[in-house]
Homo-oligomer: A and B are copies of this chain.
Amino acid sequence: MARIEFAKGVKEEVVPDVRLTRSKDGSNGRAIFYFQNPQALDPEFGEEITGMYLIDEEGEMVTREVKGKFVNGQAEAVEAIYPIKSEKEWDRFMRFMERYAEENGLGFSKA
A109 touches B21 (CB 8 A): no
Interface residue count on the A side (C-beta < 8 Å): 26
Residue A95 CB within 8 A of the other chain = yes
A108 touches B110 (CB 8 A): no
A98 touches B106 (CB 8 A): no
B26 touches A108 (CB 8 A): no
Hey, which chain B residues are within 8 Å of A106, CB to CB? Answer: 20, 108-111
Hey, which chain B residues are within 8 Å of A98, CB to CB? Answer: 20, 22, 90, 94
Tell whether A102 pairs with B22 under 8 Å between CB atoms, given A91-B95, A108-B108: yes
Interface flags, A82-111, vs B, CB<8A=1, else 0: 000000001100110111011011111111
Residue A42 CB within 8 A of the other chain = no
Residues of A within 8 A of B (CB): 15, 17-22, 26, 29, 90-91, 94-95, 97-99, 101-102, 104-111
